[in-house]
Amino acid sequence: MTAQVPPGPTPPTAAGVAGMQAADAVLADLGLELLSVGEGTAKVGLTVRASMTNGYGNTHGGYLFLLADTAFAYACNSRGTATVAAGADIAFLEPTRAGDTLVATAEERVLRGRSGLYDVRVECGDRVVAEFRGRSRAVPLRPADPLR
């Protein structure tokens, strides 16, 4: 008897996420840490360095966006389907500073065909410091894609 695979998204593949992680230069360069990945979810951490702060001593918004966008990327690629951002926006709620540890938690809200909608909450301890919403689009894999 052969097991029947129900139609729908492919389950997460460790090889796909590992390939994506191995090819992700930003993780290593900026000290981002991939904490977890599940179907439609991901969690990424970052400790803010002094070089990541602006003239007010606050974490530059670009780093908060990058952190949230990275969690979004892993969440929408978690099923082994090559997916890219179609658009995103962020609301900065509270400042953070050098030495703060930030955690971005991405959660899939809607997945319809090739399009998805994801929310990412960025926290510093028990404070929510930013909220990000990303829109994704699945694309055909190319021979060099790390999810292959």
Q: How many structural domains is the chain composed of?
A: 1
- Is 50 part of any domain? yes
Per residue in 54-109, pLDDT (tens digit) is 999 999 999 999 999 999 999 999 988 889 999 999 999 999 999 999 999 999 99
Answer whether residue 6 is part of any domain. Answer: no
| CATH of residue 59 | 3.10.129.10
Whether 41 is covered by a domain: the verdict is yes
Is 52 part of any domain? yes
* Residue 43 placed within a domain: yes
What's the rounded Cα separation, in Å, for the pair 62 and 30? 12
Structural domain containing residue 117? 14-138
- Residue 20 has a pLDDT of 80
Decide if 147 is inside a domain: no
Centre a 10 Å sphere on the Cβ of residue 124 and count the other Cβ atoms it contains. Answer: 18
Task: Compute the distance between CA of residue 79 and CA of residue 75 in angstroms, rounded to an integer.
Answer: 8
Tell whether 146 is covered by a domain.
no
1 located within any domain? no
Give residue-wise pLDDT tens across range 1-50.
333 333 333 334 555 677 787 778 888 889 999 999 999 999 999 999 99
Q: Which residues lie below 8 Å from residue 1, measured CB to CB, with a gap of 6+?
A: none
